[in-house]
Amino acid sequence: MESLDPVAQVRRLWSAWASGGLESLLALLDDDVEWAPHAACGLVLHGRDEVRAFWAELAARGERREPTLYRIERHGDVVVSTGSLRIVRDGHLTEAQLAWLHEFSGGRLRSTAAYDSRAAALQAAGTAAAA
């Protein structure tokens, strides 16, 4: 990623997904990134290849995920983004309000994980702002 500013990097991730889908997002990730998407139910994906394979499997089953960003906030070396996730599966639509915790080290995105709430993401990050 170009900028070392974590908030700018997270904005680019969201923009890449919205404008170009998975391949645009993957182009911004390092080979050793850890990614724990909501749909993985706790599974942590390691690197672009595992992230790509996971989303390809969902697409092959006919599932579609449509995230919407509401807010981005920085807490030191972590960024929490909040939004909604629409899931289309088997002709049914569900929507959830989620938070994503993005952890950085040395200006590089190290991991992203989805949580059921902003408070849970902040608690996972160990920030005092979780209250």
- pLDDT tens-digit profile of 75-111? 988 999 999 999 999 889 999 999 999 998 877 888 9
Does this model's pTM top 0.75? My answer is: yes
Q: Give the total number of structural domains in the chain.
A: 1
Is 33 part of a structural domain of the chain? Answer: yes
Cα separation, 68 vs 1, whole angstroms: 21
Tell me what pLDDT residue 105 has: 81
Whether residue 29 lies inside any domain: the answer is yes
Give the rounded distance of the alpha carbon of 110 from its chain centre.
12
**Nearest Cα to 73, choosing from 106, 105, 102, 110?**
102
129 occurs within a structural domain: no
Residue 53 belongs to domain spanning: 6-122
The pLDDT, as a whole number, for residue 77 is 82
Residue 56: CATH number of its domain:
3.10.450.50
104 domain residue, yes or no? yes
Q: Decide if 52 contacts 35 (C-beta within 8 A).
A: no
Residue 131 counted as domain residue: no
pLDDT at 1 over 70: no
110 in a structural domain: yes
